[in-house]
Amino acid sequence: EIFSINIFGNEEVSSSLIYSGNSVIVPTKSGKLHQYSVDDSMYYVKTLTSSSNSPVVKASFNNLASYYTLATDTKFFENGNEIFSTAKIKDIVLSQSPTGAFISAVLTNDNKIYFINSLIRKLDEVSFVLHDSISSLSLGDLKNDGENYIVFSRDKNLEAISMTGASADNFPFADP
């Protein structure tokens, strides 16, 4: 099916739409995230706001949109509240731990990865000295042990690191 809607408030879309289950989140240039539900038709549900009025460049949310993160060029927000500002943000990813904590990873242009745990509000930083820059991140439980790992490509290797920056077992992986 193809749906066509008017964006709430006639705002401009700032980055790719985010799909999860029957929800669609629309990031806008005014710093808002508009949530829509998709069933037999598509309808507006609510606006997720932040204290930013800068364009949203990346966003992530859980399947109920009860927890969300967003990034502008230089600021990271959790449920609308600014957590920190840094060099240009390239990517953000979100996962949930077995304890219920949401774990965010924020990648900056200078190859720093910041980890944020929603329950303890801890901000950790891991830096990499690389010839090539990291372009994007993935986040997940690689070993089904409840621990989240960051996965990214570096040169011709596939890297996986823990939330403390230690390499996961059998990583880096080099394609022969």
Strand, helix or coil at 72? coil
Q: How much is the mean pLDDT over the chain?
A: 78
User: Which sign does the torsion angle of CA 74, 67, 65, 165 carry?
Assistant: positive
- pLDDT at position 94: 87
What pLDDT does residue 1 have? 44
pLDDT at 3: 45
Residue of 40, 90, 33 lying closest to 65 (CA atoms): 33
- Cβ proximity of 26 and 43 under 8 Å: no
* CA distance linking residue 60 with residue 132, whole number of Å: 26
Query: What pLDDT does 8 receive?
Result: 54
**Sheet bearing 75-78, strands edge to edge:** 58-61, 68-71, 75-78, 81-85
- What does the pLDDT average to over 137-154? 82
Average pLDDT over residues 91-106: 84
Dist CA 14 CA 45 (whole Å) = 19
pLDDT winner (highest mean) among 8-12, 39-43, 84-88, 117-121: 84-88
Instruction: State yes or no: pLDDT of 116 exceeds 60.
Output: yes
The conformation of residue 10, written as its DSSP 8-state character, comes to G
Phi, psi angles (nearest 5°) of residue 9: 75, 10
Is a pLDDT exceeding 50 seen at residue 88? yes
Give the pLDDT band (50/70/90) at residue 7: low
Residue with the two structure tokens 């070993």: 143
For residue 172, whether the previous peptide bond is cis, meaning omega lies within 30 degrees of 0, is yes
Tokens of 38: 């998709």
Rounded average pLDDT over 73-92: 87
CB 26 within 8 A of CB 33: yes
The stretch 46-62 carries a mean pLDDT of: 78
From the CB of residue 137, how many other CB atoms can be counted at a distance below 10 Å?
16
Average pLDDT over residues 114-126: 76
Report the predicted TM-score, pTM, of the whole model to 2 decimal places.
Answer: 0.76
